[in-house]
Amino acid sequence: MKGDSTQELATFYQANCDFNLGSYTLASSHFKKFAEVFSRSEFAEEAIYMSAYSLYKDSPNFNLDQTGTLAAINEIQSYLNNYPEKGFEFENALSREETLKGMTIWAAYSNFEENEKGSIEVGKLADFTMLNQDIMTIDGANIPTTKATATYINGEKVY
């Protein structure tokens, strides 16, 4: 019966199964529906987070169409705006510079590729994206509106 504890657990476990099978879009949908139908469940907050995380997992890693990534960012931001009640420890958050390094030089370092990529230097692969605004100085609320104006891979313009 819809709304009872058996249905609640079955619905939550189904969403978890979808997630663990790599069906992230479906998992996101099931987690989101779970949070709506069973809003008072002890699993509701986790379902909201998992819906956002599923979209993140489903977002493309190397694709110029970042629609999925933007959807993931919006879902995660929605979660951050609402949970936990007293907020997160923003004083421990990464700075913009640390975030950028995490996506560039630190990512290359973690793959033992810091001598080939991760920063723009002579002798390294020229993989980079040009943006329509400076994400290091604009208001944080405007970062999601940033658009790629050009993308280069191995020094060749591909977008």
Listed residue (120, 86, 89) closest to 104, CA to CA: 120
Task: Tell me the pLDDT tens digit for each residue of 98-133.
Answer: 888 888 888 888 888 889 888 888 998 888 889 999
Q: How far apart are the first and last CA of the chain?
A: 52
Q: How many C-beta atoms surround the C-beta of residue 46 within 10 A?
A: 18
- The architecture in CATH of the region 1-93 reads Alpha Horseshoe (1.25)
Task: Tell me the pLDDT tens digit for each residue of 39-92.
Answer: 888 888 889 888 888 887 877 665 566 677 777 777 777 777 776 665 566 677
Task: Enumerate the domain spans of the chain.
Answer: 1-93, 96-159
Write down the pLDDT at residue 1. Answer: 43
